[in-house]
């Protein structure tokens, strides 16, 4: 009885000491260590992407507010184009600059060519705006696939570490022919820690991906909406040229 009590106290102390993350990592098998390192790096990279995208979207929406205020203030679009120059600070400004550049280039070339149909001007401008918007939005959405991939695969990677750790526990039981907690507990604790790291990487990645995807879709709709409004303005000027 006394020996059993001493053994229980010893196992409890060892378990309490062995549950620290560093101890679980250090005592794990090299395969489980590799899984833990991979998941930890994926989690860090996901948080870096989340922070960067959140700051970028907040900054882009602020710049879009200032641009729309300047655009709809009633001033000449040529003056706004000259003021922005060749360095548009955000996708909405880039769409505007690309459209104005194509507008000026095409109108200058067609100025003395009355046989050229005016419809080609509107088609050129529309195509340029679509390509510019697509390129700018693709650049903003970069690394979003990493969030989606981490959210969908990290739990399975952690599960692989769990299975491997449990296999090591059974191997230790077979080697020592001892089923006490002192033999089984370390491998199981390391295995479960790999699962925890998988969830730690996956849950924020999934939540952030859903939130950022909605914000990016909202911003893309804002850019495409401006492109459509500006194209309508240019179409009215094309009609006045006929």
pLDDT for position 216: 95
pLDDT digits (tens, 9 = 90+) for 119-148: 677 788 889 999 999 999 999 999 999 999
Q: Is the pLDDT of residue 109 over 70?
A: no
pLDDT for position 118: 57
Q: Is the pLDDT of residue 16 over 50?
A: no
The pTM of this model reads 0.79
pLDDT digits (tens, 9 = 90+) for 57-95: 999 999 999 999 988 887 788 888 888 877 888 999 999
Total Cβ atoms within 10 A of residue 106: 19
Model confidence at 179, pLDDT cuts 50, 70, 90, reads low
pLDDT for position 14: 43
CB 33 within 8 A of CB 141: no
pLDDT for position 11: 45
As a whole-number percent, the residues of the chain with pLDDT over 70 amount to 76
Model confidence at 114, pLDDT cuts 50, 70, 90, reads low
Domain positions in the chain = 21-241
């Amino acid at each position: 009885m006394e020996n059993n009590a001493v053994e229980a106290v010893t196992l409890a102390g060892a378990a309490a000491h062995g549950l620290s993350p560093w101890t679980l990592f250090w005592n794990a098998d090299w395969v489980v260590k590799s899984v833990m390192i991979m998941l930890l790096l994926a989690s860090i990279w996901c948080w870096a992407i989340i922070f960067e995208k959140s700051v970028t979207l907040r900054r882009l929406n602020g710049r879009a507010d200032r641009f729309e205020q300047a655009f709809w203030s009633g001033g000449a679009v040529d003056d706004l184009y000259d003021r922005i120059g060749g360095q548009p600070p955000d996708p909405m400004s880039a769409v505007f600059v690309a459209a104005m550049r194509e507008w000026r280039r095409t109108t200058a070339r067609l100025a003395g060519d009355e046989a050229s149909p005016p419809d080609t001007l509107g088609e050129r401008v529309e195509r340029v705006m679509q390509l510019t918007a697509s390129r700018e939005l693709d650049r903003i959405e970069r690394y979003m696939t990493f969030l989606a991939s981490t959210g969908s695969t990290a739990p399975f990677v952690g599960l692989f570490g769990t299975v491997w750790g449990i296999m090591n526990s059974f191997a230790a039981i077979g080697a020592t022919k001892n089923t006490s907690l002192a033999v089984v507990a370390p491998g199981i604790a390391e295995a479960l820690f790999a699962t925890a790291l998988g969830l730690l990487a996956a849950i924020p990645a999934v939540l952030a991906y859903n939130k950022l995807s909605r914000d990016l879709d909202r911003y893309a709709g804002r850019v495409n909406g401006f492109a459509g409004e500006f194209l309508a303005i240019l179409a009215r000027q094309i009609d006045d040229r006929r």
